[in-house]
Structure 1
Amino acid sequence: MNQVTTTLLELGGGLAPNPVMAHGDGSPLVYLHGPFGQEWSGYLDDLAARRRVYAPANPGADDPADLRLLDHLWDLVLYYDELLDRLGLGTIDLVGHSYGGMVAAEYAAAYPARVRRLVLIDAMGLWRDDAPVNEFVTVAPETLDSQLWHDRTESAVAAFRAVPEDVEESHARLLRRFGAVASTAHFSYPIPERGLVKRLRRITADTLLIWGADDGLVPPVYAEEFARRLPSATCEIVAAAGHYPHVEQRERVARRTLEFLA
């Protein structure tokens, strides 16, 4: 079986190469990660069993200089459009988690003809004063952890959160997380809402909303908000899951995703 590969994808305009992870065969699927950095989880392995999955990093995570060239969300949307062109991709299926869900929705609204199907997992991007999205930058780690997970002791969660035993590797991972949070916060902090509500009507792709019932970061009420405002959306609330239903309930979420994308 092919292994996950990482390719440094060259981009123009003085931007740093993007370390795009990829695996699998089949029609293209692009995954945009959440606020804590590029990842390749078992969920992506499940998708790659049937599809060619690409998982780029958020710009600025590896080279902060990118953030001087990308000032706001529209720059970010154009960045991803160039990245897809450099990958040689035309029409794609797009999956976004959390912060990546916000970016995926913005991209699908800007380029509706390019996205065939859209999957949003506990996506940021909307705002309600009566149910604010909690912030992920300055919050205490223990508080944030309690918002992200239904059960931190569950084996899949423990494996996902595990800290490397090697000190240097552990420090490197911590630095990567700091870089990732800085890069995602650049486009979303302090409120991860940049007017998406006005643009959702432009999305033509059938959309699947997947939400952890116990998400303490982006409350499940936002699944209802997205569903109400998207032209064609199906919503699935996942029990016994927090902000990462594709980790805590991997089998169910992967199966539902592949069914929807078939």
Structure 2
Amino acid sequence: MAGLVDTKERLVDVWGGRVKLRFQIVGTGAPLIYLHPAAGLHFDPFLATLAKRYTIVAPEVPGTSPGDGNAIHQVDDLWDLVLLYEEGIRKLGLNGTPILMGQSFGGMLAAELAAHFPAMFKKLVLFDPIGLRREGLPITNWMTTPPPALAALLFKDTSHPAAKAMFTPPADPEAAANGTAALVWALGCTGKFVWPIADKGLRKRLHRVTAPTLVIWGEDDALISSGYAKEFGNAIKGSRVEVIPNCGHIPQLEQGETALKLVNAFLGD
């Protein structure tokens, strides 16, 4: 888990022993499960702040864990991944009913988990989730977007410090090459579950979500139209929808203070 603080690692045997699901854990307090976006797990300032109040429990999509790339071949489709995550989370034996949070690809996966297992989670927070598709609301194919062009898809302001931190390559050429390779591999692993169209019928399952839900979206999201915020809000009964202006696909980084206030207010209810 790349990022700002040291985490504890826990491996959990799942899927009949065919996969060792790796969790990164940090913080103190009530459990909060965080599902990472397509590019993999990175511990950012937003999560670091949440870790002061919650125990962040972050599983890594099989194949994206360093040194275990072949694990992706044990998971055939999205339904396998949903069941695999459910199994791993239950085996952790967390103290209390966890909060569930996901970003983008992780938001879709969080919504699927909350729909399949409604009683399993206390609250649900979704940041710009993929998973729905409607004519007139564009989705950019990130799988075919060259890495240098990703910044403009993810951030409204590509000069934002978070954008620079994410996309400025290391000075060491070998480290830069390894970083690009890891990114491409992670996108390939997660892409397996959404390619060629990131709509696997989630809309018809969202009515099953019973956990109080907060949907946060960047108004200027160039990857997935912010119009989908309303789509998720309409599909999840009683959910709150917040669209943040002057913000791209990653609200918790580009407008971190605003996103944190919204999340803290929601989780504190």
- Place the TM-score, normalised by the shorter chain, in its bin: over 0.9
Match of 2:141 in 1: 135
Conservation of the 8 A alpha-carbon contact between 1:241 and 1:248: yes
Conservation of the 8 A alpha-carbon contact between 2:12 and 2:92: no
* 1:35 counterpart = 2:41: no
Conservation of the 8 A alpha-carbon contact between 1:8 and 1:17: no
Deviation at 1:8, TM superposition (A): 4.1
Deviation at 1:165, TM superposition (A): 1.8
Write the distance in 2 (CA, Å) between the matches of 1:81 and 1:203.
15
Write the distance in 1 (CA, Å) between the matches of 2:217 and 2:84.
27
SS in 2 for 1:11: strand
SS in 2 for 1:65: helix
Structure 1 residues not aligned, in runs of 5+: none
**Which letter maps to 1:260?**
F
Mapping of residues 14-53 of structure 1, within 5 Å: 14-53=17-56
CA root-mean-square deviation = 1.7
User: Which range moved further: 95-104 or 62-71?
Assistant: 62-71
SS in 2 for 1:52: strand
- Divergent runs of 4+, >4 A: none
Question: Which one of the candidate residues 11, 30, 36 is aligned to 1:9?
Answer: 11
User: Which range moved further: 87-96 or 2-11?
Assistant: 2-11
Question: Which one of the candidate residues 89, 97, 101 is aligned to 1:91?
Answer: 97
Conservation of the 8 A alpha-carbon contact between 1:4 and 1:21: no
Deviation at 1:143, TM superposition (A): 4.0
Conservation of the 8 A alpha-carbon contact between 1:147 and 1:243: yes
SS in 2 for 1:81: helix
Deviation at 1:67, TM superposition (A): 2.8
* 1:188 counterpart = 2:213: no
Write the distance in 2 (CA, Å) between the matches of 1:42 and 1:93.
19
Match of 2:76 in 1: 71
Write the distance in 1 (CA, Å) between the matches of 2:63 and 2:147.
23
Quickly say closer, same or farther: Cα 1:154–1:185, change in 2 above 3 A.
same
Question: Which one of the candidate residues 247, 259, 269 is aligned to 1:253?
Answer: 259
Q: Kindly provide the CA deviation profile for residues 45-90 of structure 1, in whole angstroms up to 9, marking residues without a partner as x.
A: 1111110011221112233433332111110111111221232125
Aligned length: 261
Quickly say closer, same or farther: Cα 1:239–1:96, change in 2 above 3 A.
same
Match of 2:85 in 1: 80
Larger RCO (CA within 8 A; separation ≥ 6): 1
Q: TM-score, normalised by structure 1?
A: 0.94
Match of 1:166 in 2: 172
Deviation at 1:147, TM superposition (A): 1.8
Write the distance in 1 (CA, Å) between the matches of 2:225 and 2:80.
28
Structure 2 residues not aligned, in runs of 5+: none
Write the distance in 2 (CA, Å) between the matches of 1:260 and 1:74.
29
Conservation of the 8 A alpha-carbon contact between 1:24 and 1:52: yes
* 1:117 counterpart = 2:117: no
**Which letter maps to 1:97?**
Q
Q: Kindly provide the CA deviation profile for residues 18-53 of structure 1, in whole angstroms up to 9, marking residues without a partner as x.
A: 332221110000111111111110010111111001
SS in 2 for 1:183: helix
Deviation at 1:10, TM superposition (A): 2.9
User: Which range moved further: 170-179 or 145-154?
Assistant: 170-179
Quickly say closer, same or farther: Cα 1:259–1:98, change in 2 above 3 A.
same
Conservation of the 8 A alpha-carbon contact between 2:151 and 2:167: no
SS in 2 for 1:137: helix
* 1:60 counterpart = 2:63: yes
